[in-house]
Chains A and B, each alone.
Chain A
C-alpha cells in the first residue's frame, strides 16, 4: 500500500511539473538563468491551456530577453543586443535598442558601408519613432543623401525634421544645407516637369518655399509656372473650374505671369461668350445660356457672363411671346383675316425678327393685294420680276422680230392675265406671232409669294 501511495504522488508530481513550464521558467528566472527560462516560457506559451499563464509567460519572456539584451549591451555586443532587445518587444527594451542600432550604424559608417548605415537609421526611424535620437538620425541621413546627391530623399528627411522637431538643434544645423541645394532641386523639378507628376512637383515646390531663405523668388517663379502648366493641362481636359483654381494659385507667386494668365482667362471666357452669342443668334437660348454659364467656371462672378445670361433669358421670354403671337396670327390667317394677321405678325417681328415671320409679313401683304386687285397684281409681279429683266427680254425678242419681219407680219398679244382654278394663282401670257416663228410665253404667278413658274421651255429660258 505504501508503494502505491508513493507511486501516486510521483505520478502527480511529474505530471504537474511537465505541465507547469511557467513555474519552471520562474524558478530559472529567479536564478538568472534567462536562456533556460525563455525556453520554458516558450513551452508554456506553446502548450499551456491557461491563457492568463501564457500572458504571464510572455511578459516574463520579454523581461528575460531584456535582461539578456542588457548583458550584451554592457559587453558592447551591439548586434546580439539588438536581436535580444528586439525580441524583448517592450518599451524599456526599445530605450536601449535605438542606441544599439546607432552604434551599429557608426561602425558601418566608419567602414564606408553607407547602405548598412541607412538600414540601421531606417530601423530606428521606423521601429522606434519615440527615440530621442530621431533628429540626429535625420540629420546624419541628410548628410549621406547630400553626398549621394539624392535631393528628394534629403528633402523628405528635412520635412520630417521641420514638421516634427522644428526647434531641435539638428534641424537648425540641417536648414542651411537644405537652403543651399534648393536651386538644384528646382532645376531637377524643371527638367522633370514636362513628363513628371505636376501635382507632386507643386508639393515639393511648396515645401521648398517653406524652407527657402535665399531662393524664395526662384521657387515662387517655378511654383507659378507649374501652376500655369497644371491649369493648361486642366483646360485641355476641359476641367475649367480646376484650371481657374490653378491660374488663381499662380497669381500670388509671379506678378508678370499673373498678367499673362489673367489675359488667358479672358481669352477662354471670350470663347464661351462668342459661342453663346452664336447660339443666341439662332434663337438657341438654352445652349447660349449654357455657354455663358461656362464662363463662371473659368471666371466666377464674371459680370459680362451675368449680363449675357440675363439678356439671353430676356430674349427667351420675348421669343416665347413672339411664338404665341405668331400662332395667333396663323389662326387669323387661316380665317382669311389677313389685315389682322399682318398686324400680329408685325408685333411678333418686333420681338423676334426671324425669316419665318418676315415671310409671313411678305405673304400677308401679297394676299391683301391679291384679294383687292389680283390681275393687276399678277401682271405687276411679272413686270417687276428681277427688276424688269423678264419683261425686257420679252420686249427684246419682240423688237428683234419686228426688225426682222416687219410690224405688218408680227402680231403681239400684249400682257394677258388669265384666271386659274386657284384664286391665288394666275397665268400671265404674252404671245409674239409671225408666219415664220412664234413665241408663246406663259408663266404661272403665285400671288401669295410672288413666285413665277414657267409653263413652257421658252418661258423658262427667260426666267433664268
Chain B
C-alpha cells in the first residue's frame, strides 16, 4: 500500500462516518438545546451576543490576519512571530534558517568547486577523489536544505498558532476593557461609534 492509497482510505472513511450519522430534526430544533429555558435566559443570551457584536469592529481593526502573517513568515522566517510580539521565537527561527541555508549554500559552493575540479582534472586518481568530494558536499547541501524546509514549514505552523493565540488574547483584552468601561460603544443609524 503506497502513500497516496493511505491518504485516500482516510478521507473516504471520514466522509462515510459523516454520512452514516442520522439527522434528528427534533433534536436539531429543540428550543432548549442552548440552555434557554425561558424568555429571560434567551434575552440574556441575545444581549451578550449583541454587546460582543459591537466589539467585533474593534477586533477586526486590531487583529492580525493569519494568512498575511503566514505569508510574511514564509518570506522571512520569524517575521510572523515578531508581529505577534513573540520576539525570542522569531529570532530563533530566523537564526536557524540563516544558519541552515547558509551552511547549505556553503556545502553547495564546495560541491560546485569540487565538481569544477573533477571536470578539469586529468589524473584518474584526482578524478575519483573530486567526484566523491563533490557528491558528499552536495549531499550535505541537500540535507541541510531539507532540514531548512522542515523548519520553514514548522515556522509557518508556529506562526499560525501564534497568530491565533494573539488574536484570542486581543479579543479577551477588548472584552476586559469593555467590561471595565474603558471602551464605550454606541449604536447609530449609520453604524457603531467606539470611544476609548
Chain A residues within 8 Å of B, Cβ to Cβ: 1, 3-5, 8-10, 12, 15-16, 19, 35, 38, 49-52, 55-56, 58-59, 62, 80, 83-84, 86-87, 89-90, 126-127
Does residue B133 face the partner (Cβ distance < 8 Å to A)? no
A455, B96: Cα distance in complex, Å = 138
Known contacts A16-B160, A50-B171, A89-B36, A83 near B153 by CB under 8 Å? no
Q: A51, A83, A84, A90: which contacts B172 (Cβ < 8 A)?
A: A51
Chain B residues with Cβ below 8 Å from A84 are: 29
- For A55, give its contact among B23, B52, B164 (CB under 8 Å): B52
B63 touches A86 (CB 8 A): no
Which one of A35, A52, A80, A87 contacts B33 once the chains associate, using CB atoms below 8 Å? A87
Find out whether the CB atom of A126 lies under 8 angstroms from the CB atom of B164.
no
- In the bound complex, residues from chain A placing their C-beta under 8 Å from that of B7 are 10
Partner-A contacts on B (CB < 8 A): 3, 7, 23, 25, 28-31, 33-34, 36, 39, 42, 45-46, 49, 52-53, 55-56, 59, 63, 142, 145-146, 149-150, 153-154, 156-157, 160, 164-165, 167-168, 170-172, 175
Partner of A52, one of B36, B49, B171: B171
List B contacts of A12 (CB < 8 A).
153, 156-157, 160
Given A83-B30, A87-B29, are A3 and B3 neighbors across the interface (CB < 8 Å)? yes
Contact A126 B39 (CB under 8 A): yes
**Distance (whole angstroms) from the CB of B54 to the closest CB of chain A:** 10
A3 CB contacts on chain B under 8 angstroms: 3
When the two chains form the complex, which single residue of B3, B25, B34, B142 contacts A1, counting CB atoms closer than 8 Å? B142
- Beta-carbon nearest neighbor of B154 in chain A: A8
Question: What are 22 A-B contacts with C-beta separation under 8 Å?
Answer: A1-B142, A9-B153, A35-B23, A38-B28, A49-B168, A51-B168, A51-B175, A52-B55, A52-B56, A52-B59, A52-B63, A52-B170, A52-B171, A55-B55, A62-B49, A80-B25, A86-B42, A87-B31, A87-B33, A89-B34, A89-B36, A89-B46
- Please indicate the chain B residues that have their CB under 8 angstroms from the CB of A5 in the complex: 149, 153
A-B contacts counted at CB < 8 A amount to 79
Residue of B nearest to A84 (CB): B29
Q: Which residues of A contact B157 (CB under 8 A)?
A: 12, 15
**B23 → A minimal CB distance (Å):** 7
Residue in B3, B45, B142, B156 whose CB lies within 8 Å of A89:
B45
Beyond A12-B157, A38-B28, A89-B42, list 5 extra A-B contacts (CB 8 Å).
A4-B149, A49-B165, A51-B52, A52-B171, A59-B49
CB contacts (< 8 Å) of B59 on chain A: these are: 52
Q: Say yes or no: A55 contacts B42, CB within 8 Å.
A: no
Cβ 8 A contact of A4, one of B52, B146, B156: B146
Of all chain B residues, which has the CB nearest A91? B46
- The chain A residue with its CB closest to the CB of B40 is A126
Task: Quote the shortest CB–CB distance from B76 to chain A (angstroms).
Answer: 19
Structural contact, A59 and B33, CB atoms closer than 8 A:
no
Chain A neighbourhood of B52, CB < 8 A:
51, 55, 58
Q: Which residues does chain A contribute within 8 Å of B160, judged by CB atoms?
A: 12, 16
Q: What is the CA–CA distance of A35 and B27 in the complex, to the nearest angstrom?
A: 12
Q: How far is the CB of B40 from chain A (nearest CB, A)?
A: 9
- Taken together as a complex, chains A and B put the C-alpha atoms of A19 and B171 apart, in Å, by 18
Within 8 Å by CB of B150, from A4, A19, A51, A89, lies: A4
Contact B146 A1 (CB under 8 A): yes
In the assembled complex, which residues on chain A have CB atoms less than 8 Å from the CB atom of B146? 1, 4
Residues of A within 8 A of B36 (CB): 86, 89
Asked if A55 and B39 sit within 8 Å, CB to CB, the answer is no
Chain B residues closer than 8 Å to A62, beta-carbon distance: 49
**Residues from chain B with Cβ under 8 Å of A10 in the complex:** 7
Docked Cα-Cα span, A38 to B27, in Å, equals 13
- Chain A contacts of B46 at CB under 8 A? 89-90
Residues in A neighbouring B53, C-beta threshold 8 A: 55, 59
Closest chain A residue to B7, Cβ basis: A10
Residue of B at shortest CB range from A58? B49
Q: Which residue of B lies closest to A16 (CB)?
A: B160
Among A5, A8, A51, A83, which residue has the most Cβ atoms of chain B within 10 A?
A51
Query: Can you name the residue of chain B whose Cβ is closest to the Cβ of A88?
Result: B46
Residue of A8, A35, A50 with most chain B CB atoms under a 10 A cut-off: A50
- Tell me whether A35 and B171 are in contact in the complex, defined as CB-CB below 8 angstroms, given that A5-B149, A55-B56, A62-B49 are known contacts: no
Q: Tell me, in angstroms, the Cα distance from A366 to B122 when the chains sit together.
A: 173
B63: nearest residue on chain A (CB-CB)?
A52
Residues of A with C-beta under 8 A to B45:
89
Which A residue's beta carbon lies closest to that of B60? Answer: A52
Docked-complex contact B153 and A8, CB < 8 angstroms: yes
**Minimum Cβ distance to chain B for residue A56 (Å):** 7
Task: Report the bound CA distance from A90 to B165 in whole Å.
Answer: 30
Residue of A nearest to B49 (CB): A58
Shortest Cβ distance from B23 into A: residue: A35
Residues of B with C-beta under 8 A to A4: 146, 149-150
With both chains docked as a complex, state the minimum distance between the C-beta of A28 and any C-beta of chain B, in angstroms: 13
Inter-chain contact A1/B171, CB cutoff 8 Å: no
Determine how close the nearest CB of chain A comes to the CB of B155; give it in whole angstroms: 11
Complex: A83 Cα to B25 Cα, angstroms? 11
Contact status A49-B149, CB under 8 Å: no
Separation of A407 and B168 alpha carbons in the complex (Å): 142
In angstroms, Cα B56 to Cα A15, docked, is 26
**Shortest distance between the CB of A35 and any CB in chain B (Å):** 7
What's the Cα separation between A84 and B55 when bound, in Å?
A: 26
Min Cβ gap B190→A in Å is 18
A252 to B134, CA, bound (A): 119
- Enumerate the 10 nearest inter-chain pairs by beta-carbon distance, A residue then B residue, closest first: A83-B29, A52-B171, A8-B153, A55-B52, A51-B171, A50-B168, A1-B146, A127-B39, A52-B59, A86-B31
| Closest B residue to A12 using CB positions | B157
With both beta carbons as reference points, the residue of chain B lying nearest to A69 in the complex is identified as B29
